[in-house]
C-alpha cells in the first residue's frame, strides 16, 4: 500500500487519530528541543568541540533512555498509558522552562545538562507508552500500515520541528537568549500534546487488569528478573528478536556516522565556522528526514513483496555499500546523500522492528519488550559515539570510521538472514479483544 492509502486506512479509527495527533504534536516539539540542544552543545562559538565532547554530549542526551528503560517497562505495564500521555507532557514542559531559565541566566553547563536529562527522562515514559499503546487502537492486520505511518511520521515531524528550530534560531539568534526562547517554544508545544491525549478514554490504551500481576513497588525490586523474563519471551519470537537486533546494529553504525558528520562539518568542511557548520549539518538532517519519509512509502511495498526477513538484510546491505560510495571521497555533497540513504534504510528496519514486536509479543510483555528495545536503540548509539571519540582525528576525516559502517551494515544483514533462516518465530498469542 502507498503512504496515502495506509494513512487513509488507519485514520478511519477515531482513537487512532487521537493517538496519532498526540505523537505528532509531541515529536514536533522534540525537533525544536533537539535542535536547540545540539546548537548549544556542538555549535556554540565559545566551544571548541572535539570528538570526545561530541560523545559526551550524545551520552548525556541518550543515556536516560537506556538507564530508565527497565523501569519504564515496569510502569507502563501497570499505569494507565493514557494518563502517562497526559501527565508527561506537562512535567516536561515545566522542566523545559527550567532549562530555558538556566540558559538565559548563563548557569554552568552541568546545570543545564541536568535539566535536559530530566526532560529526556520524562520523554522516555512518553515514547514507550506511545509504542505500547498502538496495538490498542488499530486491528492486528493493520499494524504494518500503522507502523509505516505513525512512528515514521513522528520522526519526519521531528525533522520538521528541527527545521522550524533552525528558522527560529536565524530570527532569535544563536546566543543564550535565543536558545532559551527555543526551549520555551518547545515546552509550550509539547504541553499541547496533553490536551490531545486527554480526549482519549482513560482505559483505552491499557494495560488490562491482571490480579496476579505484582505491585509496582515489588516489580521495581525485581526489574532485572522482569527484563530476563522479557528477553526469554523475545527469544521465543525469533523474527521480533532478530529484527530488534538489526535495529540495534543500525543505531551503532548510525551513531558513528553522526559523530563523524558533526566533526567534519565543524572543522574539515568549514574550518571552524560554527554557523556554516550548523547550516551544513542541517542539510544532512533535512535529507535524512526525506529518507525517513521515503521509508514510509517503500517499506509496505517491500515487505509485501519480500517479507520482513528478506527486506531487512536488503536495507542493511544497501546502507553499507552506498555509505562507502558516498562518504569515502570526503566531499561535502556526500554527507547529505549518505544521510538520505541511512534515513531510508534505518527507518525501514525500524518499521519492521516495531511491527514484529507489536505483532508477536504478548500484551503483558509489551512494555518490557519496548524497554529492551529502547535500551538497545540508544545504548548502541552511545557506544558508537564512545568508539568515535577514540578513532576520529581532530578534523573528523577518518577512513576507518567510514569502513566500519560500510562493512558492518552488510555483516549485520547477513547475520540477521542466517538467524531468521534457522527457524520461524513461535506463533504470537492472539491479542485481547479491542
pLDDT in tens, 324-367: 999 999 999 999 999 999 999 999 999 899 888 888 888 778 77
Lowest mean pLDDT among 242-251, 313-322, 376-385, 417-426: 417-426
| 343 CB-near residues (< 8 Å, 6+ apart) | 287, 288, 289, 290, 291, 292, 294, 295
Whether the predicted pLDDT of 221 surpasses 70: no
> Could you tell me if 425 and 239 are in contact, meaning their C-beta atoms sit under 8 angstroms apart?
yes
Confidence grade of residue 254 (pLDDT, cut at 50, 70, 90): very high
Q: How many residues does the chain have?
A: 434
Helix H or strand E segment including 372:
helix 366-391
User: In this predicted structure, what is the pLDDT of residue 189?
Assistant: 92
Whether the predicted pLDDT of 434 surpasses 50: no
> Could you tell me if 152 and 293 are in contact, meaning their C-beta atoms sit under 8 angstroms apart?
yes
**Cell numbers given for 407:** 562493512
Cis peptide before 46 (omega within 30 of 0): no
What single-letter DSSP state applies at residue 333?
A: T
Most confident of 101-105, 233-237, 310-314: 310-314
| 43 CB-near residues (< 8 Å, 6+ apart) | 49, 174, 266, 274, 275, 277, 278, 281
Confidence grade of residue 428 (pLDDT, cut at 50, 70, 90): very low
**Cell numbers given for 394:** 581532530
Confidence grade of residue 116 (pLDDT, cut at 50, 70, 90): confident
Q: Which residue has the higher pLDDT, 59 or 39?
A: 39
**Cell numbers given for 12:** 478511519
**Cell numbers given for 427:** 506463533
What single-letter DSSP state applies at residue 269?
A: T
Confidence grade of residue 2 (pLDDT, cut at 50, 70, 90): low
Cα distances (Å, whole numbers) of residue 26 to 4, 191, 280: 22, 8, 26
Give the largest CA-CA distance in the chain: 63
User: In this predicted structure, what is the pLDDT of residue 362?
Assistant: 83
Q: Is 362 helix (H, G, I), strand (E, B) or coil?
A: coil
List, for residues 140-159, the tens digit of each pLDDT value: 778 777 876 887 688 789 88
Supply the pTM of this predicted model. Answer: 0.77
User: In this predicted structure, what is the pLDDT of residue 238?
Assistant: 83
Mean pLDDT value across residues 220-239 = 78
Cα separation, 4 vs 13, whole angstroms:
15
Lowest mean pLDDT among 135-149, 276-290, 337-351, 391-405: 135-149
User: In this predicted structure, what is the pLDDT of residue 140?
Assistant: 78
Give the closest residue to 155 by CA, choosing from 37, 294, 41, 61.
294
Amino acid at each position: 500500500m502507498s503512504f496515502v492509502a495506509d494513512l487513509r486506512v488507519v485514520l478511519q479509527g477515531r482513537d487512532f487519530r487521537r493517538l496519532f495527533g498526540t505523537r505528532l504534536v509531541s515529536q514536533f516539539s522534540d525537533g525544536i528541543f533537539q535542535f536547540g540542544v545540539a546548537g548549544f552543545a556542538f555549535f556554540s562559538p565559545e566551544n571548541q568541540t572535539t570528538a570526545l565532547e561530541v560523545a559526551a554530549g550524545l551520552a548525556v542526551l541518550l543515556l536516560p533512555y537506556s538507564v530508565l528503560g527497565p523501569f519504564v517497562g515496569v510502569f507502563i505495564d501497570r499505569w494507565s498509558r493514557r494518563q502517562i500521555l497526559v501527565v508527561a507532557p506537562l512535567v516536561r514542559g515545566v522542566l523545559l522552562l527550567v532549562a530555558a531559565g538556566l540558559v538565559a541566566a548563563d548557569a554552568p553547563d552541568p546545570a543545564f545538562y541536568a535539566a535536559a536529562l530530566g526532560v529526556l527522562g520524562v520523554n522516555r515514559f512518553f515514547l514507550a507508552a506511545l509504542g505500547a499503546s498502538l496495538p490498542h487502537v488499530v486491528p492486528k492486520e493493520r499494524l504494518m500500515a500503522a507502523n509505516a505511518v505513525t512512528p515514521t511520521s513522528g520522526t519526519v515531524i521531528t525533522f520538521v520541528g528541527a527545521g522550524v528550530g533552525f528558522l527560529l534560531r536565524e530570527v532569535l539568534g544563536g546566543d543564550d537568549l535565543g536558545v532559551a526562547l527555543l526551549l520555551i517554544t518547545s515546552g509550550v508545544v509539547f504541553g499541547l500534546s496533553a490536551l490531545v491525549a486527554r480526549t482519549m478514554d482513560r482505559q483505552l490504551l491499557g494495560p488490562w487488569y491482571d490480579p496476579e500481576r505484582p505491585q509496582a513497588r515489588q516489580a521495581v525490586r525485581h526489574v532485572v528478573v522482569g527484563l530476563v523474563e522479557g528477553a526469554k519471551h523475545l527469544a521465543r519470537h525469533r523474527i521480533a528478536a532478530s529484527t530488534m537486533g538489526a535495529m540495534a546494529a543500525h543505531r551503532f553504525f548510525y551513531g558513528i556516522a553522526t559523530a563523524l558528520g558533526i566533526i567534519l562539518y565543524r572543522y574539515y568542511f568549514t574550518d571552524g565556522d560554527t554557523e556554516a557548520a550548523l547550516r551544513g549539518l542541517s542539510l544532512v538532517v533535512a535529507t535524512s528526514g526525506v529518507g525517513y519519509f521515503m521509508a514510509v512509502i517503500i517499506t509496505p511495498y517491500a515487505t509485501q513483496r519480500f517479507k520482513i526477513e528478506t527486506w531487512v538484510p536488503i536495507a542493511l546491505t544497501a546502507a553499507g555499500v552506498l555509505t562507502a560510495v558516498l562518504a569515502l571521497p570526503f566531499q561535502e555533497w556526500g554527507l547529505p546523500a549518505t544521510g538520505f540513504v541511512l534515513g531510508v534504510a534505518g527507518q525501514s528496519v525500524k518499521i519492521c522492528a516495531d511491527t514484529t514486536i507489536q505483532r508477536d509479543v504478548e500484551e503483558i510483555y509489551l512494555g518490557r519488550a519496548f524497554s529492551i528495545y529502547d535500551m538497545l536503540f540508544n545504548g548502541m548509539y552511545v557506544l558508537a559515539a564512545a568508539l568515535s571519540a577514540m578513532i576520529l582525528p581532530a578534523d573528523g576525516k577518518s577512513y576507518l570510521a567510514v569502513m566500519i559502517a560500510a562493512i558492518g551494515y552488510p555483516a549485520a544483514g547477513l547475520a540477521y538472514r542466517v538467524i531468521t533462516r534457522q527457524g520461524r518465530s513461535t506463533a504470537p498469542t492472539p491479542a485481547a479483544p479491542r
